[in-house]
Structure 1
């Protein structure tokens, strides 16, 4: 059997730089192992308190420490377990995927390295940054690990750190928007974009168009500036800050979210506002808005977009509702993904009664997603990064807020079974499994899945009975998607053990 050459282990070091190296490696190893072991490995009986897997490509054995965030991988070599550092893990993953799929990919290993190096840069930057006072901002900007089941969750397109670090949420970035003037006859817009005209002042014959400064460094707009279709109008007189989505910025002074195109691959996709998505976003947003017209939960509407006809996707900006018109009085919004990752002041850490906290969380998050599906035919992309959970002064969940019409599907466009599978993946696998795991780590006495079963069983939806008894749940195969260069929207699922099914 062919072997992957493993580098000798390095000695531990008290050097602060070495501490950053070790922490960056740990942040990078966990999500890579999660998707690798989920997608191309089979569990075997463990040894020494570690979980053992047979790798599907070669039959080699790999063992890891921990379950939710695996660490310290070791490969069975010549009858002994040998530690695998992050660089060698990348080699091992690439070798296994070549064997398993029969295809090669030079791009993804480079992204894995870029992702790990980005984490190191972010750790260094965070050590110097001022932590925001606002708990909502802290929650949005806490994702140092990021997507827990992606091989390169922090890859930033392979560009130099100086090009992207000033705009990184994880570094607590704040910056003004660049303001452009677009010649009026070149403007394309749909929906309510009036908020954009309040950001500055355009001269006669032009319309105001804010731009993300990082994006302006990625696209060539020289011809449009040269012939006057575009002009520069300076910057906003206020700062914005990036949410976890990176290209979505929040302007707290205006209580406004703005989503931009960003010609960078982040997780599975180049993050442009694609024309085909923009042309249908008003329809999906209207359906989601109607689904949340009554009740406590809220929908942050993507109420309109504006762009230029000569750079439709490159310069597009989507206008999203702010928070204040939707939040319950006195409630503090927090990003669900931030609760899982952890941040200073998280109510998940300080819950006086964690079982009661979890029941309150489920009562806010689960019913709106199921009711939107059952009563309105709306399939929310209710994963961790698209869900905000508002808490009261005691840290108890009192409201859920959902966002991102671009990810919404409608049952008028997809088969019901496909829509349900997507909802189960987003809401249960991506969201509740991760939140339950984070809660159980902090409070192991809580029966997290009994509470989820009770909450789901309250809903008279035909698919729920099957969900509670199915042996498996659909797990998205992000590693195989990227290795085979499949479209990011072309979700493929692998069956995962269903924690909802009683033993």
Structure 2
């Protein structure tokens, strides 16, 4: 019988105080949550270039991993594109493990202890999210944030899909979008001369010679530690947790200096400086897609010269949907019946790949994962066009832009590269190995959709690379186990269109 971990016990204790009615559901959801996290970890162990795994041996019914220290791990075959929790246990030298945290602890690799704590928190938080979920009604939500509240399980492939260290049970209930709470944003006044400001800053966020910077209440208490700010507007948290939708107003991206999934979510000075320039450039470029892509414009961005006290105001994606249409993040498609139709999935794949490859050819690689990429659906569910938000991690190729007679924006730094591998990794890793795989739910379904959609797409070197080579995906577990290595690290996943060898 599984013994609860300290984090599971802690969350259960906190939950008994905050929402005692959820304790039975939390307990009941723990086994499934552990399996979901273990499945994501097994995918990483099976496919990422981990230096502690020296060989992978495919048997008739299982997969064996030979470790550098002589031990062996055994588990089921690992479909890198599957979203079901199909791994309930693996065996390390014959010992059964049914949770990812205990397995990672006993593997004993560098930085295993810290990563194991994150995995433990991920499973416990996931159980809490599932315990409080509302099962989707047949009627689709009417507002954009209601779609985001349906994404209960978080990242479909990251073992830290729900890791929120530093967040108590009460914090998660108050601030997690899946718990459907409204959040009262606060503001901190800063002398305008001490701020970096790009774009327009609304009058309601000005006080004489001071800018009022919206602050997430968790940030105000745990990071700024100057006490609560001035109450401003009530807003609804979106999937990223730190971005919130103000009813009738903008989406507000706040600094939230907590480690969520992998990264600490502050807002860099570089992002503030580039925000409006990127927005204007990307909006103009999207016009070359014949109305199939819209960019949510950045209205204004401000920082008190600190990544811990900054905010970005963006227009709502609802601006690009007619009254009889729905706009939703691609991650929320898995909460509908739409991906179950092969013809619908092929049509959606054709739309997203066509737009993504068109922009890549022009010189812009979108980070089009299921959170940043949204789709506009007709009243009958047909995918009509796309909306993209949050340009902070796209990549621009001056050489490709110049080839098409497009003047590159005056930006330098990490956003700018002409390296083809880097550009393709950015798009393919987020869109195909991320958004499309998460929507399809399995390798076979993804393969069918890609094969069908590709017949109608222009043949370019980028499309050929996608269809004939390994599929890049961020090596999310390797990155957590090698924090001393800066930047993204990558895995080469088996192409779903090519038979396994």
Report if TM-score (shorter chain) is over 0.5: yes
Q: Is the 8 A contact 2:367 2:427 kept in 1?
A: yes
Q: Is the 8 A contact 1:347 1:395 kept in 2?
A: no
Could you tell me how far apart the structure 2 residues matched to 1:90 and 1:221 are? 32
Q: 1:258 to 1:362 in 2, by over 3 A?
A: same
1:360-419 deviation per Cα after TM superposition (whole angstroms, max 9, x unaligned): 2123212221111212x1111011211111111111111111111101111132123321
Match of 2:59 among 26, 32, 45: 45
Q: Tell me, yes or no, if structure 1 residue 298 matches structure 2 residue 294.
A: yes
Cα drift, residue 424 of structure 1: 1.8
Q: 1:132 to 1:246 in 2, by over 3 A?
A: farther
SS at match of 1:162: helix
Q: 1:273 to 1:372 in 2, by over 3 A?
A: same
Q: 1:364 to 1:329 in 2, by over 3 A?
A: farther
Q: Is the 8 A contact 2:394 2:426 kept in 1?
A: no
Structure 2 residues without counterparts, runs of 5 or longer: 5-23, 399-415
Could you tell me how far apart the structure 2 residues matched to 1:494 and 1:37 are? 10
Alignment of 1:471-490 (within 5 A): 472-486=470-484, 490=487
Q: 1:243 to 1:334 in 2, by over 3 A?
A: same
Could you tell me how far apart the structure 2 residues matched to 1:127 and 1:327 are? 25
SS at match of 1:217: helix
SS at match of 1:292: helix
Alignment match, 1:459: 458
Q: 1:468 to 1:306 in 2, by over 3 A?
A: same
Could you tell me how far apart the structure 1 residues matched to 2:2 and 2:391 are? 47
How large is the Cα RMSD of the aligned pairs? 3.2
SS at match of 1:176: strand
Could you tell me how far apart the structure 2 residues matched to 1:419 and 1:52 are? 32
Could you tell me how far apart the structure 1 residues matched to 2:328 and 2:135 are? 24
Q: 1:321 to 1:127 in 2, by over 3 A?
A: closer
Structure 1 residues without counterparts, runs of 5 or longer: 1-7, 226-230
Q: Tell me, yes or no, if structure 1 residue 90 matches structure 2 residue 106.
A: no
Q: Tell me, yes or no, if structure 1 residue 114 matches structure 2 residue 125.
A: no
Alignment match, 2:338: 348
Match of 1:142 among 138, 150, 174: 150
Q: Is the 8 A contact 1:31 1:145 kept in 2?
A: no
Alignment match, 2:439: 435
Per the normalisation by structure 1, the TM-score is 0.80
Could you tell me how far apart the structure 2 residues matched to 1:272 and 1:17 are? 30
Could you tell me how far apart the structure 2 residues matched to 1:135 and 1:55 are? 49
Alignment match, 2:393: 407
Q: 1:43 to 1:266 in 2, by over 3 A?
A: farther
Q: Tell me, yes or no, if structure 1 residue 123 matches structure 2 residue 127.
A: no
Q: Is the 8 A contact 1:474 1:495 kept in 2?
A: yes
How many residue pairs align between the two structures?
451
Could you tell me how far apart the structure 1 residues matched to 2:343 and 2:136 are? 35
Cα drift, residue 244 of structure 1: 0.7
Alignment match, 1:211: 215
Match of 1:251 among 239, 246, 254: 246
Alignment of 1:70-469 (within 5 A): 70-75=86-91, 77=93, 83-86=96-99, 89-96=100-107, 98=109, 103-126=110-133, 133-134=141-142, 136-194=144-202, 197-198=203-204, 203-220=207-224, 222=226, 232-236=229-233, 239-254=234-249, 256-294=250-288, 295-296=290-291, 297-309=293-305, 312-328=306-322, 330-340=324-334, 342=335, 346-348=336-338, 354-375=341-362, 377-412=363-398, 413-414=416-417, 415-437=419-441, 447-455=448-456, 458-469=457-468
Could you tell me how far apart the structure 1 residues matched to 2:25 and 2:253 are? 37
Cα drift, residue 287 of structure 1: 2.8
Q: 1:55 to 1:159 in 2, by over 3 A?
A: farther
Q: Is the 8 A contact 1:179 1:234 kept in 2?
A: yes
Cα drift, residue 448 of structure 1: 2.6
